[in-house]
């Protein structure tokens, strides 16, 4: 997440609900990694196989030499964050919440030098990704992106970014889990991102790491650190060892679409084809998702869903809020069928079978 230099308060701080079995924990943006190193842990690419403290140290040093020159600090009028050099044409991938509503930036390489001017190419807030482009492309070192589909739990990772404005910082950890779904509510610069297949990693949470690199010991970027956990039971304090990154396969797909088309043309995410809002009961608690508008010729329209209906669950999974509905849909594929339980204005409850469409990238 972006942060104002010298100020630990997170700019546009948001809290996010973790699904996929991590109950009762909230997360906010910004990520750094810590954790027990083990150079023989699971790996992708040509990571070192030798053991011992010297080999371990050399593996870390080699990875940092390979990846750190590709890390940049992105400064906006409201704060700063991190980014990863994507190609020699000046494109840099980062988080949508780092760029916020800004369109002009200053970019500083981790290797130093004067700040360079950059402009927004496009932002994809629904997936919390964005691409900016620097005008001065000299000396750029594009990162090597690995295949996040081949990751394994226990693999060693390094996070590189600019936590609290400390340029070029590196921390270490492991991959704790794969395939998480994390969501964030609406906030400044974001309509509420739902990140699928997120990488969970042991993490030391520091604002400013967002948008940087999560790298393996083969020197490949395998994720973009984006979210970090806090525990509400500790008064909002950090929950040690829980952080999240967008997988590199998703980041590459989004970046390639933005660079080619100027926007995301295929989100690869399922949609009902409705505009919704959370419905609150007399006790003040959410009871379902109210349908405010149904898109013409959408799966919802063809299944008979109408404005005024309340969506209670999808495929048996409760949807008490709009965010919960987004989480469920994020796990489904466009073209598949979903069973949607509805409460109608007359009080009757029915179930509709909807053929899911593709979520718009706008």
**How far is it, in rounded angstroms, from Cα 243 to Cα 33?**
8
91 catalytic per annotation: no
204 catalytic per annotation: no
Helix locations, 163-246, DSSP H = none
Whether residue 191 contacts residue 125, with contact meaning beta carbons closer than 8 Å, is answered with yes
Q: Which of 82, 190, 210, 248 is catalytic?
A: 210
Whether residue 31 contacts residue 228, with contact meaning beta carbons closer than 8 Å, is answered with yes
DSSP 145: B
Three-class SS state of 170: strand
**How far is it, in rounded angstroms, from Cα 128 to Cα 148?**
17
Whether residue 295 contacts residue 267, with contact meaning beta carbons closer than 8 Å, is answered with no
128 catalytic per annotation: yes
Q: Which of 29, 102, 123, 128 is catalytic?
A: 128
Its sign, for the CA torsion 199, 201, 205, 207, is negative
Whether residue 234 contacts residue 28, with contact meaning beta carbons closer than 8 Å, is answered with no
Q: Which of 70, 82, 91, 97 is catalytic?
A: 97
Q: State the catalytic residues.
A: 97, 128, 210
């Amino acid at each position: 997440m972006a942060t104002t230099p010298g100020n630990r308060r997170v700019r546009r701080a948001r809290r996010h609900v973790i699904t996929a079995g991590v109950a009762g924990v909230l997360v906010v943006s910004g990520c750094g990694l810590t954790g027990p190193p083990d150079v023989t842990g699971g790996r992708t690419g040509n990571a070192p196989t030798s053991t011992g403290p010297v080999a371990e140290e050399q593996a870390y040093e080699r990875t940092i030499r390979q990846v750190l020159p590709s890390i940049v600090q992105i400064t906006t009028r409201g704060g700063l964050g991190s980014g990863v050099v994507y190609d020699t044409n000046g494109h840099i991938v980062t988080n949508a919440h780092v760029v916020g509503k800004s369109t002009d930036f200053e970019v500083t390489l981790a290797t130093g030098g004067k700040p360079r001017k950059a402009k927004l190419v496009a932002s994809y807030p629904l997936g919390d990704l964005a691409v900016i482009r620097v005008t001065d492309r000299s000396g750029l070192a594009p990162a090597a992106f690995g295949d996040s589909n081949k990751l394994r739990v226990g693999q060693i990772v390094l996070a590189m970014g600019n936590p609290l404005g400390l340029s070029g910082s590196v921390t270490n950890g492991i991959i704790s889990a794969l395939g998480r779904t994390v969501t964030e509510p609406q906030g400044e610069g974001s309509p509420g991102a739902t990140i699928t297949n997120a990488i969970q990693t042991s993490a030391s949470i520091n604002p400013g790491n967002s948008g940087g690199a999560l790298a393996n010991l083969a020197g490949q970027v395998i994720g973009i650190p984006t979210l970090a956990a806090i525990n509400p039971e500790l008064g909002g304090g950090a929950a040690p060892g829980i952080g999240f990154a967008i997988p590199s396969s998703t980041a590459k797909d989004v970046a390639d679409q933005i660079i080619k088309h100027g926007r995301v043309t295929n989100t690869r995410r399922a949609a009902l084809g409705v505009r919704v809002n959370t419905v609150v009961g007399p006790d003040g608690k959410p009871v379902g998702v109210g349908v405010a508008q149904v898109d013409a010729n959408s799966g919802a329209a063809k299944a008979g869903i109408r404005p005024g209906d309340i969506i209670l669950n999808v495929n048996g999974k409760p949807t008490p809020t709009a965010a919960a509905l987004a989480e469920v849909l994020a796990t489904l594929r466009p073209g598949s069928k979903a069973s949607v339980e509805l409460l109608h204005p007359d009080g009757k409850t029915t179930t509709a079978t909807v053929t899911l469409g593709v979520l718009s990238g706008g």
